[in-house]
Amino acid sequence: MNKLTAVDFTVFIIYFILIAFYGYWIYSRKKNKAVSGSHDFFLAEGSLTWWAIGASLIASNISAEQFIGMSGQGFTVGIAVAAYEWIAAIALIIVAVWFIPIYLKNKIFTMPQFLQTRYNETVSLIMAIFWLFLYIFVNLTSILYLGAIAISGIINPAYFGYVMIGLAIFALIITLGGMKVIGFTDVIQVIVLIVGGLATTYIALTLVSEHFGLGKDAIAGFKVLMNDSPDHFKMILEKPNANSSQEYINKYLSLPGIAMYFAGQWIVNLNYWGCNQYITQRALGADLKTARKGILFAGFLKLGMPVIVMLPGIAAYVLHRNGALQAEMAPTGKVVADNAYSAILTFLPTGLKGLSLAALTAAIVASLAGKANSISTIFTLDIYKKYINKEAEEKKMVRVGRITILLAIVISILLTWKDLLGIGGEGGFTFIQKYTGFISPGVFAMFILGMFWKRTTGTAAVVGLLTGIVMSIFFNSFATSWFGHETWLYTAYLNSNGVYEIPFLIWMGWAFAFTMLVMIVLSLAGPKINPKAFEIDKSMFKVSPSILAMIVITLLILTMLYVRFW
């Protein structure tokens, strides 16, 4: 196993210096132009180009959750996990065509503001608090934990604490410059991420080809993966039967075949990409044409992300089952899927290892910075300005925003230090998807009905949010003990702990369905048109020929991928 050399550290330090100086240059230009108001700090209002928006979306989305968590899922499940990336491309088309015009026309800057404008202040405050807890205790903490695990695994596992603090400080430096600094530094982060990620994938495939005596041939290595583990190249997993192994059942519990495409997969993606401050924030300060192009550019990039974040995991699986990577996959004596990506990185040649480490760091830092900025935006604009200091001036709000960022990162460090939330035991990718899923059905129902059904009431929104959470908890924790493991609504399977479990992407779909039903029934008792309903003009949803071309190209590529790997 290769260790990091002086050359690797030099490559990494050059990356750090490049990002730091570029970020400072962007920040200095902003200050010189006297645009340091709160909207510029939180939204980079009007200053991000379409390619910067698209790059920032990807840099913020692709993090340790994908590099480590999705690579781990590639190790255990295979290509089926690419559904999260490829369905996201369709979700981004839907957001670009139908969601963003509504946000921009109504001058929406934060998601709680959307809820207050469409419903009432109660709904807005409840969700602002919910989002703050979710972003800090699930997203920010898990990204920091997975990132520290991955990088310390490459350098030295004993340095976990130092790596974690280093990542937090790096993210803090970028975040304190505001959304414009984050957006434009993300362009470099994405370039490093893609180049370093592709280098890692190439090396992973050549490792496979060499192990099987085929020389250094990446294409031959890919063919070996498909021949050696054809079950890892099936997008649609079949339902387990009486003869299915526990290993296969565990796969199905996380990715329940074609059923998930009629249930939670859409809720996860549309809620994440369309109703999430962390993501929409990048486009809310732009005009419609720029925002749409940026979002669709991100969707196009999502199609190729599995090559970078998932394929190394499959390569690690094939190598491990054929006698390689034994120590790398089990540094503590137990094979852990989330070690797959760092296991591959240890075999990179001098220089490339530093570049790939920089790519991994870029992904982690960009996500930490974006998430911290979203936490700051929601707290400052939707809680501090409204309820604590209504007369706060622009400079005061920016100062409060920076203090919020600092506090959020400190809290995440404290939670990460001893893995107090049990992220390691759950599996990084599943942890984030599952626990975000508890509020996703209610939130998405509120947004979709609020946008497109004028009759939806504020009361229905509050009850719908609570219904979504209650139904999620019910299906996750109580349904099987109350009604058994086989009903017309669901089929539950014994998990590794011997407990019947409903696949979370299935129960999420049912939670959403019941939430929608409750909200529709309650809204029918109100006025035919809610006074707070948005005015929708069909012309808002028309797209230009260039936008239409981007959509068609994305859908054609996606169709070919599914036809090939069905």
CA distance 171 to 96: 28
Tell me: pLDDT of 3 over 70.
Answer: no
Distances (CA, A) of 102 to 68, 140, 288, 309, 534: 35, 28, 10, 33, 8
Instruction: Report the range out of 20-34, 77-91, 340-354 with the highest average pLDDT.
Output: 77-91
CA distance 18 to 24: 10
* Average pLDDT estimate for 240-266: 86
* Average pLDDT estimate for 429-451: 82
Token pair 């959470």 in the structure block, residue: 469
Given this model, what pLDDT does residue 391 score? 80
Q: How confident is the model at residue 423 (pLDDT cuts 50, 70, 90)?
A: low
Q: Of 156, 67, 153, 73, which is closest to residue 328 (Cα–Cα)?
A: 153
Given this model, what pLDDT does residue 35 score? 44
Given this model, what pLDDT does residue 1 score? 44
Given this model, what pLDDT does residue 557 score? 94
Please spell the DSSP secondary structure of 71-106, one letter per residue.
HHHHHHT-GGGGHHHHHHHHHHHHIIIIIHHHHHHT
Instruction: Report the range out of 31-40, 92-101, 256-265, 393-402 with the highest average pLDDT.
Output: 92-101
* Average pLDDT estimate for 78-105: 91
Distances (CA, A) of 64 to 59, 166, 213, 366: 11, 15, 32, 10
CATH fold for domain 6-230+270-424: Sodium/glucose cotransporter (1.20.1730)
Instruction: Report the range out of 36-45, 179-188, 259-268 with the highest average pLDDT.
Output: 259-268
* Average pLDDT estimate for 154-170: 82
Tell me: pLDDT of 513 over 90.
Answer: yes
**Distance in Å from the first CA to the final CA of the chain:** 36
Tell me: pLDDT of 376 over 90.
Answer: no
CA dihedral 359, 362, 364, 366 (to 10 degrees): -150
**Residue 520, Cα to own-chain centre: how many angstroms?**
30
Tell me: pLDDT of 176 over 50.
Answer: yes
Tell me: pLDDT of 450 over 60.
Answer: yes
Beta bridge mates, 501: 493
Kindly give the pairing relationship between strand 500-501 and strand 493-494.
antiparallel
pTM, two decimal places: 0.82
Average pLDDT value over all residues in the chain = 83
Lowest-confidence pick of 84-98, 190-204, 438-452: 190-204
What share of the chain has pLDDT > 70, as a percent?
Answer: 88
Pair 248, 263: CB distance under 8 Å: no
Q: How confident is the model at residue 144 (pLDDT cuts 50, 70, 90)?
A: confident
What share of the chain has pLDDT > 90, as a percent?
Answer: 22
Condensed to tens digits (0 to 9), the pLDDT of residues 539-556 reads 889 999 999 999 999 999
Tell me: pLDDT of 395 over 70.
Answer: yes
Condensed to tens digits (0 to 9), the pLDDT of residues 194-204 reads 887 888 888 88
DSSP 135: I
Condensed to tens digits (0 to 9), the pLDDT of residues 286-301 reads 788 999 999 999 999 9
Given this model, what pLDDT does residue 42 score? 53
Pair 342, 357: CB distance under 8 Å: no
CA dihedral 20, 24, 26, 30 (to 10 degrees): 160
* Average pLDDT estimate for 471-492: 90
Pair 440, 268: CB distance under 8 Å: yes
Q: Letter for the amino acid at 306?
A: P
Instruction: Report the range out of 209-218, 327-336, 479-488 with the highest average pLDDT.
Output: 479-488
Q: How confident is the model at residue 250 (pLDDT cuts 50, 70, 90)?
A: confident
Tell me: pLDDT of 38 over 60.
Answer: no
Given this model, what pLDDT does residue 183 score? 61
Given this model, what pLDDT does residue 34 score? 43
Q: Of 534, 511, 513, which is closest to residue 452 (Cα–Cα)?
A: 534
Across 199-230, b (16+ Cβ under 10 Å) vs e yields: bbbbbbbbbbbbbbeeeeebebbbbbbeebbe
Q: How confident is the model at residue 461 (pLDDT cuts 50, 70, 90)?
A: very high
In three-state form (DSSP H/G/I as H, E/B as E, the rest C), the secondary structure along 435-495 is HHCCCHHHHHHHHHHHHHCCCCCHHHHHHHHHHHHHHHHHHHHHHHHHHCCECCCCECEEC
Higher pLDDT, 466 or 433: 466
Condensed to tens digits (0 to 9), the pLDDT of residues 553-566 reads 999 999 999 998 88
Lowest-confidence pick of 158-162, 250-254, 327-331, 338-342: 327-331
Three-class secondary structure of residue 340 per DSSP = helix
